[in-house]
Every structure is written in structure tokens, then in C-alpha cells.
């Protein structure tokens, strides 16, 4: 059956009409309108954004920590101390050198202020902690003459450092093998530590401790975060070196925004042409 195009050059006004026998009929009524094109683009863009957000959120607490590192406002150590004294709760970022008067040494004689050793067992696609040991001393962040203490006891998921890691079978642990661990299970020993010779970025809420000193800790529903890495490197540690998921999420964000923008432009052009 022959067809012909009717309408103007406006992208929203073309439609295809089936030319049927005189008098019309069902075949003659078969038409469609390309005005739905902008709606399809916007819908596809929204779908791409939803999938991108789902990929990002699949990182769990690591997504939350990464977002805090990216958006938390930076203040000087002096300003953080002033906030603590004012009693105004604000979640802020401070940068400076790790400072302590009570360091302890590791096996390589590095001066440490915080260390966590975990023994983890592989279960499915994830690692389960079966044993954890911590060692910490009072420390803070110093910038020139100003310093603010860090609540090391509250530091947990917000620690972002390069871990030292060794892997093997459970039997390799010898006497350190936790009770109930299958001898053939894949295990790893993961050590995270903070040295007093490093510079750090710390995120938290400044408050006054019982000793009257300014202290940075968790608050306002957010974790205490500390990293001895630059933000870009910290992000790579948070995604554990994985590239496929972050790249897919970034691509979907771009595609989604472009599709939504393209749909709005096409719709606007069609309205103006009409």
C-alpha cells in the first residue's frame, strides 16, 4: 500500500499516513506522530541515570565515604578549633600533619599512631572479618601552631589508606587460625595504619572534649573520615582498584544527561516550529 509524508520540516510535525482506497477504512487511519521522540529521549536518559546511581550505590559505605571526601567544605585547623569552642555543629574537612607525643613503632620502625589488623575469610564474593585487633594512641592534625585532636577510637569505616595485605589458606595462619575456620578457606591478613610522619585529610564535627581540647569526631549522621592519600587516590582505594563499574557509571551519567538535554531541545524546537 503506498504511503506519503505530510507536515512541515519541523521535527515534531512529521507523520506517516497510509494512503488507502477512496472512502477511507482501517488502513487509511494508520498514522503515528513523531512528537513522542522527545519523550523517548527523556525516558531513556532517566533510565540511564537510574542505572548509574544503582551502580554507584552498590559500593555501600564506600560510596558514602567517597561522596563526603568530594563535597565536604574545607576549613583551616584554626577555624575548626573556633567551631568547637562556639558549639556550632558543622561537618568540615581539615588538612595537616599527623601529630602525637605517644607514637609506637611497627616492624619497620615507622612511628605509628593507629593500626588495625584484620583476619578475613572469603565467603562468596566478599570478605568476612573473623578477627580484629586495634592499637591507637592520642593523636591529632596540626597545621603550623594550631592543632585539633582526632577521636581515634571512633575511626572505623571512614579510614582510607593503602592497606598492607597478605593472602593464603587458613592453615597458613598456624596458631592464629580463628576457631571454626575451615582449614582450606582462603584468608587474608589486612593491616591498615597511620604514621605520625604523614599528612592527612580528616572529616568530622569539631567539638570540645572533657579535657577542654578541640576534638574532631563523627556527628550529624556522618562518619569520622581520615585519609593519608590525595582525594583522587583515595577514590581508587575506595573502589578497590576496580575500573569497569566506575567507568560504566560515569558513561551512563553522561549518556543520561545528554539524552535528557537532547529530548528537551528537540521538544523545544518542535514547539517553536509549530
Output the pLDDT for position 108. Answer: 84
C-alpha cell at 102: 605517644
- Alpha-carbon gap, residue 198 to 145, rounded angstroms: 17
| Average pLDDT taken over every residue of the chain | 81
pLDDT at 265: 81
> Half-sphere exposure (CA, 13 Å, Cβ side) for 187?
21
Task: Please give the average per-residue pLDDT across 163-178, as a whole number.
Answer: 82
Domains and CATH numbers, the chain: 3-53+248-273 (no CATH), 62-238 (2.40.50)
Q: Is the pLDDT of residue 63 over 80?
A: no
Mean pLDDT of 52-73: 79
Q: pLDDT at position 173, please?
A: 79
What is the average pLDDT across 132-144?
Answer: 94
Residues pairing with 219 in the sheet = 222
Is the per-residue pLDDT at 164 higher than 70? yes
Helix and strand element counts for the chain (H, E): 5, 15
Strands 126-136, 139-143: pairing kind: unpaired
Average pLDDT of the residues in 202-216: 93
Please state which of the ranges 75-79, 98-102, 169-173, 224-228 shows the lowest mean pLDDT. 169-173
**DSSP of 27-91, one letter per residue?**
GGG-EEEGGGHHHHHHHHHHHHHHHHHHHHHTTTHHHHHHHHHHHPPB--HHHHHHHHHHT----
Q: What is the pLDDT of residue 56?
A: 65
> What's the average model confidence in pLDDT over 205-223?
93
26-55: average pLDDT: 69
Confidence at 45, pLDDT banded by 50, 70, 90: confident
- Quote the radius of gyration of the chain (alpha carbons, Å): 29
Residue 121 in this model has a pLDDT that exceeds 80: yes
Amino acid at each position: 500500500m503506498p504511503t506519503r509524508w505530510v507536515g512541515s520540516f519541523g521535527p515534531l510535525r512529521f507523520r506517516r499516513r497510509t494512503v488507502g482506497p477512496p472512502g477511507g477504512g482501517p488502513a487509511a487511519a494508520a498514522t503515528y506522530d513523531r512528537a513522542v521522540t522527545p519523550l523517548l529521549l527523556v525516558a531513556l536518559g532517566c533510565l540511564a541515570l537510574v542505572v548509574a546511581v544503582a551502580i554507584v550505590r552498590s559500593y555501600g559505605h564506600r560510596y558514602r565515604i567517597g561522596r563526603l571526601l568530594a563535597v565536604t567544605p574545607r576549613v583551616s585547623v584554626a577555624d575548626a578549633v573556633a567551631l568547637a569552642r562556639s558549639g556550632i555543629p558543622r561537618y568540615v574537612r581539615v588538612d595537616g600533619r599527623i601529630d602525637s607525643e605517644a607514637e609506637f613503632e611497627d616492624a619497620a620502625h615507622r612511628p605509628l599512631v593507629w593500626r588495625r589488623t584484620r583476619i578475613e575469610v572469603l565467603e562468596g564474593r566478599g570478605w568476612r572479618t573473623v578477627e580484629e585487633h586495634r592499637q591507637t594512641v592520642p593523636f591529632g592534625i596540626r597545621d603550623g601552631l594550631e592543632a585539633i585532636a582526632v577521636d581515634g577510637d571512633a575511626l572505623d569505616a571512614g579510614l582510607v589508606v593503602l592497606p598492607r595485605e597478605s593472602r593464603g589458606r587458613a592453615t597458613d595462619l598456624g596458631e592464629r587460625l580463628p576457631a571454626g575456620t575451615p582449614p582450606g578457606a582462603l584468608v587474608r591478613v589486612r593491616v591498615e595504619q597511620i604514621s605520625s610522619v604523614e599528612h592527612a585529610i580528616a572529616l568530622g564535627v569539631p567539638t570540645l572534649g572533657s579535657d577542654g581540647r578541640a576534638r574532631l569526631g563523627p556527628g550529624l549522621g556522618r562518619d569520622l573520615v581520615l585519609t593519608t592519600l590525595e582525594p583522587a587516590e583515595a577514590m581508587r582505594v575506595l573502589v578497590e582498584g576496580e575500573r569497569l563499574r566506575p567507568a560504566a557509571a560515569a558513561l551512563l551519567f553522561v549518556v543520561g544527561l545528554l539524552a535528557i538535554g537532547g529530548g528537551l531541545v528537540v521538544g523545544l524546537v518542535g514547539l517553536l516550529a509549530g
